[in-house]
Structure 1
Amino acid sequence: MAMAMVRSGLRTALRSRTPAAAPKRNYSSSAGHDDARETAKWEKITYLGIATCTVLAVVNLSKGHPHHEEPPRYDYLHIRNKEFPWGPDGLFETKQHH
């Protein structure tokens, strides 16, 4: 990068046969750049964005939403109450006869 600037300066000096002046640099805060106008523009854009988001939030939240039956907490913990094949008293319990 520095070598390219040196070469460019030398070419300019050789063409004009006058001492080479330092190349003019353009910075973002140059005199032609109006910071106040740019700040005002972005302030307006920000307020417009805030108003738009607020309106969209009010519209979305004012709409109704469907209410569904609450699903079981975990599908794999869904317990079925099914009778044992050997009866409701259990395998090892003796039945009492009256």
Structure 2
Amino acid sequence: MASLGRLSRALLRAPLSQTRQFSAAAAHGHGEPGAARLWKILTFVVAFPGVAVCMLNTYLKMQHHHHENPEFVPYSHLRIRSKRFPWGDGVKSFFHNPEVNALPDGYEEHEE
């Protein structure tokens, strides 16, 4: 029985000592030399230009975007209104977008 107690203490002690060594090494900055410099360079050379290219792509796509609504089909299971909304005219949802969202009787007409 005593050997079982010693074995369990040894097993419980091993992971804690490794964890302490790892955290102590990280706290004292004993990491790979130049790792921070590498990540700083990668941030400025890869990450920031990548974000800039994505932003440019999104901007250019928005410039050429012409939205046309699909044909309205009054399905009975969509746009059910059991009671009126407490704001506005009671038909439009709180985040209603007239260019995208249809009302129960069809899309709103816009003069362009």
The TM-score range, normalised by the shorter chain, is 0.3 to 0.5
User: Based on CA coordinates, which of the two structures has the bigger radius of gyration?
Assistant: 1
After TM superposition, the score normalised by the length of structure 2 is 0.36
Q: Which has the higher contact order (CA 8 A, sep 6+)?
A: 2
Length-normalised TM-score, structure 1: 0.40
